[in-house]
Structure 1
Amino acid sequence: MSKSSDPVQTSLLAITQTAVGCGIGLLIAGKLGRPAQKTTATTMLSIGALLALPVVVTAIIRAVNRPESARGMRRRLDSIRRDSGFPDEAEIL
């Protein structure tokens, strides 16, 4: 995944890593009772996965729509064909 300068994505990724780390730590730790440990770990891992989902989807969309892909080229050509560069109300002679 490429490095993103978007602060929302960066903070979301940090929260995701923290939640996953806490979930794994709780699975390994033996200080809680077994049912509480499993419930807390499952909750933390689920929150981490849900928070990571938008970042993963964005990465997949960027990979599919990259400019050198066939789909990216089609989209770019379509946008060039639709947009002449002049506003609709301009008189072109």
Structure 2
Amino acid sequence: MSQLSLDKFGENLPVSGIVAFSQVAIGLGAGLLVADNIRSDARRSAGVALITVGAAALIPVVWGIASKISSRPESSRAMRKKLEGIRGAYDTDIEQ
């Protein structure tokens, strides 16, 4: 079983992590400052909306990581695509 190295496709993860942490810190700080000034039903609606937007923003990140994991050189998917390419090249030579 092969191991996956995060260094191959996660070179910018530390920067992204710092940016994400700063955004969370700013958001939490602002939320704490205005929490008492907002009605509870409005606060609940805003919380649900922010969680939904945050989860939706993560979809491309998760999709990109899953794509890179599934198409790494030693994965079965990459091997199948390589074999299909090799077999396809020979099939066209035979037909001509």
Aligning the two structures, in what range does the TM-score lie when normalised by the shorter sequence?
A: 0.5 to 0.7
Alignment of 1:24-43 (within 5 A): 25=28, 29=32, 30-31=35-36, 32-43=38-49
* Alignment match, 2:77: 71
Unaligned runs of 5+ in 1: 5-9
Instruction: Give the TM-score normalised by structure 1.
Output: 0.57
Give the partner amino acid of 1:48. Answer: G
Query: Deviation string for 1:48-68 (max 9, x for gaps)?
Result: 111110110121121112110
Normalized per residue, the structure richer in helix is 2
SS at 2:81 equivalent: helix
Which whole-Å CA distance do the structure 2 matches of 1:81 and 1:72 have between them? Answer: 14
**Length, aligned pairs only:** 73
Give the partner amino acid of 2:28. Answer: G
Query: What is the Cα deviation at residue 33 of structure 1?
Result: 2.0
Unaligned runs of 5+ in 2: 1-5
* Alignment match, 1:3: 11
Give the partner amino acid of 1:75. Answer: K
Instruction: Give the TM-score normalised by structure 2.
Output: 0.56
Query: What is the Cα deviation at residue 81 of structure 1?
Result: 2.6
The percent of aligned pairs where both chains have the same amino acid is: 22
* Alignment match, 2:87: 81
RMSD of Structure 2 on Structure 1 (CA): 3.2
